[in-house]
Structure 1
């Protein structure tokens, strides 16, 4: 198998980590197929570019070799990390990051579908903006509607309203939530520099920036690890929302995932606010 730790950081090289736990195999296959297509487009422009994928199995993954076939056929080095148990989302990505020597690293959810030119646009942006260290894309849902996943620093009230109130009651706080979700500046045309928080479903880093941050804080098992990493990223480089980079995200809120997820959400929120400061209203 190709050694995934020997890429030359002075040339265009990309590593990708995907962490799964009992994944929806159809969604995961769509994610990996879209990644393969995006890599083909990028490598057509940069024939010497190298790509490596680490699929981190926190439990319940089957048929990995079949899923990775399309990527391997086009020369993308792939490995599967398994046997470590369910260590959580952030720690799973940190496992993939250990020893990585690529120039760029993509943290990718297993329910995200990239546009074919997504990587090309993203890496072109990095080439033009050396000050940028973390890129967030334009994200749409299954209906093509823009998801507002860049955020201002949250108040606890915002999180409770957005995550747990029924839609008919949530509408009463539409203006407040619109400000939290930066709706007055996030659109499908304009680059936005330095949003406080960006979504962990797609975080494209300069690898040296991510490594300087130490990756995700492993104390978060699930939820808020991307909030934490986003805020710390501003200490190392600039963060950019780049709408020319387009992805589709099949996502859902904690309130729709059962009591165990709500408990994890609450525990992570407590840890986040204890670290960065409580803001109630």
Structure 2
């Protein structure tokens, strides 16, 4: 399945998709953290405004102009708010790239994080999705890798006791942060690198999910493929 019409869209190495819904300042802070990490001509940032209905489009466009970011940032207003999946799909369909980075508007990208992701993408060609370590502003790691929900995980939630959680830790949905790369069943799509071949193979995200469970569904589809 082609991602887009190659005759009408320039091909980039990396396309970073940032979805905005009434959080223009968060997007601006995120873009500032990307400014020295993208390569003009090779990488493209697409900011999709999900029909915010406020002054987001005007503020974002003015900031792009003021900082002269127009060589690597494009603003794409959506006529409707179709949710997380639809907004990201709109951004991915707007640009041809070898890889797509879905990035939440409330993220600040650490220095060299993009180059690290691209290095992992190059050195592990068999990997379809790559998720980085997520951290709180003080550096404390965030839980961002998970197991699928199961009857045993529901038992853990229902019991809500440390003893049960410890006894059944191999079934608990959240997975403790590791300092070594590993393959979880699914990861948070607050930041995830998607290889182009994955989209060509299984398609875009399911727009039936307005918000939440879209990452679980897509990871499951990737595993199945």
Please indicate the TM-score interval, normalised by the length of the shorter structure. 0.7 to 0.9
Whole-Å separation in 2 of the counterparts to 1:156 and 1:56: 38
Q: Is the 8 A contact 1:4 1:52 kept in 2?
A: no
Equivalent residue, structure 2, for 1:190: 180
Equivalent residue, structure 1, for 2:44: 52
Equivalent residue, structure 1, for 2:224: 235
Q: Matched residue pairs, number?
A: 212
Q: Is the 8 A contact 1:4 1:100 kept in 2?
A: no
- Report matched runs for 1:195-206 at 5 Å: 195-206=184-195
Cα distance per residue 1:63-113 (max 9 Å; x no partner): 01133347744831x322224121111001111122532111111100111
Cα distance per residue 1:132-158 (max 9 Å; x no partner): 121000011133211121111113784
Q: Is the 8 A contact 1:38 1:115 kept in 2?
A: no
Q: Is the 8 A contact 1:17 1:93 kept in 2?
A: yes
Equivalent residue, structure 1, for 2:19: 19
Q: TM-score, normalised by structure 2?
A: 0.81
Whole-Å separation in 1 of the counterparts to 2:62 and 2:101: 22
Whole-Å separation in 1 of the counterparts to 2:134 and 2:8: 29
Residue 107 in 1 paired to residue 111 in 2?
no
Equivalent residue, structure 1, for 2:196: 207
Equivalent residue, structure 2, for 1:65: 61
Equivalent residue, structure 2, for 1:134: 129
Whole-Å separation in 1 of the counterparts to 2:94 and 2:25: 30
Whole-Å separation in 2 of the counterparts to 1:72 and 1:160: 54
Describe the shift of the 1:29–1:161 C-alpha distance in structure 2 as closer, same or farther (beyond 3 A).
farther
Describe the shift of the 1:224–1:155 C-alpha distance in structure 2 as closer, same or farther (beyond 3 A).
same
Whole-Å separation in 1 of the counterparts to 2:202 and 2:95: 14
Q: TM-score, normalised by structure 1?
A: 0.66
RMSD over aligned Cα atoms: 2.9
Whole-Å separation in 2 of the counterparts to 1:4 and 1:143: 44
Describe the shift of the 1:155–1:85 C-alpha distance in structure 2 as closer, same or farther (beyond 3 A).
same
Residue 35 in 1 paired to residue 34 in 2?
yes
The Cα of 1:235 is off from its aligned counterpart by 3.4
Q: 2:88 aligns with which of 93, 102, 119?
A: 93
Whole-Å separation in 2 of the counterparts to 1:128 and 1:147: 25
2:111 aligns to what SS in structure 1? coil
Whole-Å separation in 2 of the counterparts to 1:74 and 1:22: 21
